[in-house]
Amino acid sequence: MNKMEILLRRIDDLVWGPWMLVLLLGTGLYLMIRMDFLPIRNLGYALKCVIGQDEESKAERKNKTVRSTKEGAISPFSSLMTELAATIGTGNIVGVATAMVLGGPGALIWMIISSFIGLSTKFAESMLAVKYRVRNDAGKLSGGPMYTLEYGFPLKRPGKILAWLFALFAVFASFGMGNMTQSNSIAAAVEVTFGVRPALTGLIVTIVTILVVLGGIRMIAGVTRVLVPVMAVLYMLGAFVVIWVHMDQLPAGLWMIFSMAFSPKALAGGVGGHLVASVQQAVRWGVSRGVFSNEAGLGASGISAAAAQTDDPVKQGYISMTGVFLDTVVICSVTGLALAASGVLGRMDANGELLTGTTLTIAAFETTFGERGGVLVTIGIVLFAFATIIGWAYQGEKAFEYLVKKSKYVIVYRFLYGFVCFVGAVCALDVVWDFSDICNGLMAVPNLICVLGMSGEVCGQMRSRGGLN
């Protein structure tokens, strides 16, 4: 490593150190207690809202004129799919595998625990984004933590400074974590599985990305509302088959997960005998990878929530928070159970190194599908990563628009965003990954200050709706 790489790595370790995890979890737990645990108690209602089976949605279908009075560019469901497109990514495949190796199988439990705490944070940031959205110079709605901080935060001048910082970090994170790292994952997976050169893959991803993002939020939402459910269902079907085939090993895998999640001493996994981890390691890697996966507390999802056609910030907050549940509790859990049941945890490669990340997930699928397992995982990575690219495009675009104050300059961002896809596919990304990781984490600071400073307003509006189950 050169001096720049070493410096960025140290800053990255500092930003994502224990203080950040305590801040994220502490904020979520504080909000959850103040909300009387309503995000968990009303999770059933929130899921009904997603599929339009709540009483309000049923009433709207009977009286279609009601919907036409609502402001917003896309439906609440499309808004959620755009949010999920940005959060459901390679972390659901690679991140889970990495956490269960570095933190032991018990890290999966802490990913799930952190996601339930994150429901409150995601609700707060999304509800506030809808309530404080504004019209830009072109007459279109814009929202997100930057607007909440500028127009809703009690301290006006600090609010404007924090808003600017959030938008700046969000733009850099969109180019890095939302784009370059994803296009690199696509290029690497396609090259290994199909032998396609990264430059060609990068060119294709660039062209498709530009075609999608040039259509704005309506085009992005149109793609994500189809792509996200299809890719999630296909991937989970494959993982369920792996679990079913190895059903006889599932009890041992579950015992390994739960025993290593709460053990005060370092234990070796039963099925993965080479994995040794303590509860401290399980918490550290489980929480950090859970946050990476569902992004609760980072604030970017509020930008997509603000585009929803709704006049009810509380209901949209509930809809948005289901993204945390679907991302981590559902998809990440299925990945973790497939890894545990298949018996690949603790397996070594030819060089005597523990399998981790993509290679570990591929090994799990290959126990059931043979060589086709690698193809299935590669397809999953491509779909998940591309969804993240286009989901982050809108979030980064709105942050860029906030900084330049003129919507006409957004076209520059869109073409630049597409070009960055190609750069990410053909370049080594150690420096870019660390830099974007830093920006991704720094986004959380102004956002968490925002939700903490406005927690009274958030909790008051939520309590006024009471238990909705």
Q: What percent of the chain has pLDDT over 70?
A: 86
Q: Is the pLDDT of residue 408 over 80?
A: yes
Q: Is the pLDDT of residue 329 over 90?
A: no
353 or 43: which leads in pLDDT: 43
Asked which of 279-283, 336-340, 429-433 is least confident by mean pLDDT, the reply is 429-433
C-alpha to C-alpha distances, 106 to 100, 280, 464, nearest whole angstrom:
7, 10, 38
- Confidence grade of residue 272 (pLDDT, cut at 50, 70, 90): very low
C-alpha to C-alpha distances, 61 to 168, 187, 221, 312, nearest whole angstrom:
40, 44, 21, 16
CATH fold label, 38-62+75-465? Amino acid/polyamine transporter I (1.20.1740)
Structure confidence by residue, pLDDT tens digits, 5-15: 788 778 877 88
**Contacts of residue 361, Cβ cutoff 8 Å, sequence gap at least 6:** 93, 94, 96, 97, 335, 338, 339, 377
Domain ranges for the chain, please list them.
Answer: 38-62+75-465
User: What is the rounded CA–CA span in Å between residue 340 and residue 117?
Assistant: 24
Position 269 scores a pLDDT of 47
430 or 324: which leads in pLDDT: 324
Q: Is the pLDDT of residue 357 over 60?
A: yes
Q: Is the pLDDT of residue 243 over 90?
A: yes
- Confidence grade of residue 452 (pLDDT, cut at 50, 70, 90): very high
> What mean pLDDT is predicted for residues 417-440?
79
User: What is the rounded CA–CA span in Å between residue 248 and residue 246?
Assistant: 5
Position 246 scores a pLDDT of 92
Averaged pLDDT score across all residues of the chain: 82
pTM of the model: 0.85
Treating both helix axes as pointing N-terminal to C-terminal, what angle do 357-369 and 94-102 enclose, rounded to 10 degrees? Answer: 110
Residue recorded with tokens 């690497």: 188
Structure confidence by residue, pLDDT tens digits, 113-142: 989 999 999 999 999 999 999 988 777 888
